[in-house]
Amino acid sequence: TQAPVNVTVTGAAGQIGYALLFRIASGQLLGPDTPVKLRLLEIPQAVKAAEGTAMELDDGAFPLLSGIDIFDDPKQAFSGTNIALLVGARPRTKGMERGDLLEANGGIFKPQGEAINAGAADDIRVLVVGNPANTNALIAKSHAPDVPADRFTAMTRLDHNRALAQLSKKLDVPVSDIKRLAIWGNHSATQYPMITHGTVGGKNLAEAVNDQTWVEETFIPTVAKRGAAIIEARGLSSAASAASAAIDHVYTWVNGTDEGDWTSAAVISDGSYGVPEGLISSFPVTAKDGKYEIVQGLEIDDFSRTRIDATVGELAEERDAVQKLGLI
Ligand code: NAX
């Protein structure tokens, strides 16, 4: 068998952590032949709770789980790590301005970026889940100059999966029939789920839907505001679905996309489609040989252009704000 892959999970005692760790331990992150070693990072007050989760992981008797270590120091938690899932973040609380939120998260993602730079394995791959995910990824990346920039990504796969679910219900087809869907921009209410180049059973998705009013007034807002709808219904934010999307994001990154299909991930922009270079923006992406690549050459219609510009504009504002705060 293979040597174990080191996987660091931050925010391990949180609700996404609780759903995510069992999926990783069961082999769903990297596949059924790859043993994993978990490195959990928490703040000191939550270490005891993380120990409780680790006890339950032990009790799962997972054949692929070859060890669990718990840390409250990022330097130790990221030492030798191959895959880092940055889930822990500072949530927005009542009365908090955006600047305060960005600053509080800078205090988390700057030292974590530095720790990744200092001690992670050469093949390190980072997925940021903690919000504001795109900008937190940008902060971490900025403090890891020795790590290739394309190893820092943020999660929009949950948005992608939410869009698949809505379309599957609308068209009464299995989710697996729907291909080439794409989330653009920020993981926020401004995100743009694009169906223009999608296919369903080999036919064009937008033509199959054939209802632009539904797209604009129901589909896009439902996908963009799904997080709030889950909180409203469950009394808690999305956790198992977020964990599932994180599993999907890494599994696809490592194992590749199917020929002719895409997925969505927030990756560093190379200037494609007018998205300013250096922003961590969601794009349609393929994965091959362990790399995410932006799908090139798509024609962008006027409606899509407006939506992409709006969400990318928000990302540029967040970047400017963290730049002013000296966080990047
Ligand atoms: P919880 O509040 O349940 O858990 C967060 C955990 O992070 C806590 O245990 C806390 O102690 C820990 N933490 C805080 N600062 C830390 C640090 N510096 N180092 C290590 N751990 C730290 O939140 P949960 O519901 O698990 O959500 C986690 C994050 O995911 C939030 O930022 C949330 O907004 C974000 N989400 C992102 C999604 C996405 O699609 N990108 C969707 C789901 C989710 O809303």
Residues 35-93 pLDDT 10s: 999 999 999 999 999 999 999 999 999 999 999 999 999 999 999 999 999 999 998 88
Which of 154, 172, 197 is the last residue in one of the domains?
154
Decide the pairing of beta strands 280-288 and 199-200: unpaired
Domain holding 267: CATH number?
3.90.110.10
Which of 115, 139, 154 is the last residue in one of the domains?
154
Q: For residue 97, name the pLDDT band (cuts at 50, 70, 90).
A: confident
Residue 251: inside a domain: yes
Tell me the residue range of the domain where 66 lies: 5-154
- Tell me, yes or no, whether 21 and 125 share the same domain: yes
pLDDT given at position 2: 85
pLDDT given at position 99: 87
Residue located nearest, by CA, to atom 16 of ligand 1: 88
Task: Tell me which of 9, 43, 70, 71 to substitute to probe ligand 1's pocket, judged by most ligand atoms within 8 Å of the beta carbon.
Answer: 43
Binding-site sequence positions for NAD(+): 11-17, 105, 112, 129-131
- Tell me, yes or no, whether 279 and 130 share the same domain: no
Which of 105, 132, 154 is the last residue in one of the domains?
154
Task: Please give the distance, rounded to the nearest whole angstrom, from the Cα atom of residue 8 to the centre of ligand 1.
Answer: 14
Mean pLDDT for the chain overall: 97
- Tell me, yes or no, whether 244 and 124 share the same domain: no
Residue located nearest, by CA, to atom 9 of ligand 1: 14
Distance CA 78, CA 7 (A): 9
Give the predicted TM-score (pTM) of the model.
Answer: 0.98
What percent of the chain shows pLDDT beyond 70?
A: 100
What percent of the chain shows pLDDT beyond 90?
A: 95
- Tell me, yes or no, whether 204 and 301 share the same domain: yes
Question: Active-site residue 187, yes or no?
Answer: yes
Find the mean pLDDT for residues 152-173.
98
pLDDT given at position 95: 83
Residues 214-269 pLDDT 10s: 999 999 999 999 999 999 999 999 999 999 999 999 999 999 999 999 999 999 99
- Tell me, yes or no, whether 197 and 101 share the same domain: no
pLDDT given at position 93: 85
Q: Residues 160, 187, 197, 249: which is the catalytic one? A: 187
pLDDT given at position 91: 85
Find the mean pLDDT for residues 88-102.
88
pLDDT given at position 1: 66
Distance CA 314, CA 292 (A): 23
Residues 177-229 pLDDT 10s: 999 999 999 999 999 999 999 999 989 999 999 999 999 999 999 999 999 99
Partners of residue 201 on adjacent β-strands: none
- Tell me, yes or no, whether 171 and 211 share the same domain: yes
Residue 61: inside a domain: yes
